[in-house]
Every structure is written in structure tokens, then in C-alpha cells.
Amino acid sequence: MEEVVDSRSVRRLKTNRWTGALPLLPFFAFTGFFLLWPVIAVTIRSLKGNKNEWTLANYRPIIHSGPYFHAFVTSIKLSLVTSVIGAFIGALFAYVVVKYAHGKFGAVLDSVSAVFANSGGVPLAFMFVAAFGVEGIVTTVLKSLGWDIYAGHFTIFSFTGVVMVYSFFQIPLMVLVFKPAISGLRKEWSEASINLGATHFTYWRRVAIPILLPSFIGAFFLLFAGGFSAYATARALTVGTVPLVPIIIGTLVDGNVISDQANLGDALAVGMIVVATVAMSGYIWAQRAAAKWRNQ
């Protein structure tokens, strides 16, 4: 009798699992069609030559020193620089918002951060050109004050200019991502540290910072992935003068195909997927580490 009950329970459990997964089928279908299938298709095309033969020749320009290898180096460098700037400045702003902005004022700052974090493309590039271009508003005001930012090597259309533009949306994105982690610091932890004789500096060094570090690292990886994959803003701002992988892929997709490597753009895209996967793996690991503190 017990065996019959157990078998029925097992069958009922399996049925409940399948029934519970049914609402997720549209999500899996959407993800598979718009994310998984394009990745598979691009990977297969990157392994095909001009005559539809299997080859690894499309990956050689990426591995060996050359313009495409340099584009990957420049893209990773740009992502690292803007992620560092966005992570540290954004973390500081997030702390200030959590500490001093409450009620409606805090909600307004959250809305402003969300708008800035999602700005990009041609409008953002035009805004910075209008502000920091040769005849931009900010450039003109600074020149009237005796500071000509174009007297040296600076130009808004250079690598430094792209860093400025990317930091504009990286910093508020960090505020949005990192603010919940700072809000999760419990007041009891600080009070317990003080009762045990710790100073405010000791509390941050031995309690707060170790707790916030996984969330900070995860946010950094998220910023890196976002900066590495950004395309429209850099394309509109530099018109290809700064060699970035997304811009080169866009040029190849537009029809500027290498005669002996028609699928080179697909190989570059696979390279971007690998770098983005590494970054998102770090983000997932950091989120799991941060969840241990939130669940306690």
C-alpha cells in the first residue's frame, strides 16, 4: 500500500513540475528565437569560408596582431576605463543618495538616474558635440574664462571623448545597480560594531566593504559588458575614427565585406560574445556571493 502511495506521489510531483513550467514556455521560446538561435547561427557562419567549407581562417585576424586585434584591445580598454570611472563615482553617488536623499527627492534622483542610464545613440552623441565640440557651449564658456580645452590634444571625437560620453550613462547605471546593496546594509551591524568598540572607519573596513564588495564587483562586470557592447553612440560620435569592434562589425554588415573572408564579421561577433560571456559569468558569480548576505 505504501509503495502505491509513493508511486502516486512521485507521479503527482512530476506532473506538478511540468505544469509549473508551462507558463515559462513563451519566455523560453522568445529567448531561444531571439538570443540562442542568433548566437548559434553566427557561430556556424563564422566557421564557414567563402566556398561554404569549414575553416578557422576567419579567426586568424582576431588572434594575430593587426587592425582587428587592435580593435578588440581598444574596446576592452574603453570598457575597463569607463567601468572603473562609473563604478567608483557611481558607488559614491549611490551612497550619498541612500544616506541623504529620502522621500520624493530620492524618487526624483532615481528617475533621473534611470533616464541618464538609458540615454545613448545619436541624441547623446549630438548633445556632447553641442556641449564639448570645437564651438560647443561648454567649450565657448571655458574659453571665455581663459581655458581652451582644444589647445592640447583633446577632441571630443577621440578615445578620451568616447570615455566622457560613456561615463555619462555608466555612472547613473552604477547608481541604480549599486544602490540596493548599500540600502541592504543593516543598522544593527553598525550598532553592533560600535558596541564592540569599533570606530566608524573600522566598521567600513571590516564589515561594510567586505559585504558590499561582491555587489560592487558584479556591478563592475555589468558596466563592462554594457560598455563593451555599446555601438550607436560611438558610431555617431567618432564615425569610425576610434577602432571599436562593434563599429567594425557594423561596417562589415553594411556591405564592406572582405573579399577572401565574407564571414569575418561573424567571427568578430563570436569574439564579442566570448568576452561578454566572461563578463556576465563574473556578474553572476558576484550576485550569488552577494545573495549570501541578503539571505542572512
- pLDDT beyond 90 at 206: no
The answer on 109 and 25 residing in a single domain is no
CB of 155 closer than 8 Å to CB of 242? no
The answer on 164 and 249 residing in a single domain is yes
Task: Name the residue range of residue 212's domain.
Answer: 62-294
Rounded to whole angstroms, how far apart are CA atoms 296 and 53? Answer: 55
- pLDDT beyond 80 at 142: yes
The answer on 106 and 246 residing in a single domain is yes
The answer on 13 and 79 residing in a single domain is no
pLDDT the model gives residue 134: 87
The percent of residues above 90 in pLDDT, for the chain, comes to: 40
User: In the chain, how many domains are there?
Assistant: 2
The answer on 248 and 275 residing in a single domain is yes
- pLDDT beyond 70 at 6: no
Quote the pTM value.
Answer: 0.86
Per-residue pLDDT band for 137 (boundaries 50, 70, 90) equals very high
The answer on 193 and 238 residing in a single domain is yes
The answer on 133 and 4 residing in a single domain is no
The answer on 243 and 277 residing in a single domain is yes
- pLDDT beyond 90 at 228: yes
Q: Is residue 285 a part of any domain in this protein?
A: yes
The answer on 24 and 103 residing in a single domain is no
The answer on 218 and 137 residing in a single domain is yes
Q: Is residue 55 a part of any domain in this protein?
A: no
Q: What is the pLDDT of residues 75-91, one digit of tens each?
A: 999 999 999 999 999 99
Q: What's 256's domain CATH number?
A: 1.10.3720.10
pLDDT the model gives residue 216: 95
pLDDT the model gives residue 28: 81
Q: Is residue 56 a part of any domain in this protein?
A: no
- pLDDT beyond 50 at 1: no
Q: Specify the long-range contacts of residues 84-88, CB closer than 8 Å, at least 24 apart.
A: 84/220, 85/163, 85/167, 85/170, 85/171, 86/166, 86/167, 86/170, 86/171, 86/173, 86/174, 86/223, 86/227, 87/174, 87/216, 87/219, 87/220, 87/223
Per-residue pLDDT band for 268 (boundaries 50, 70, 90) equals very high
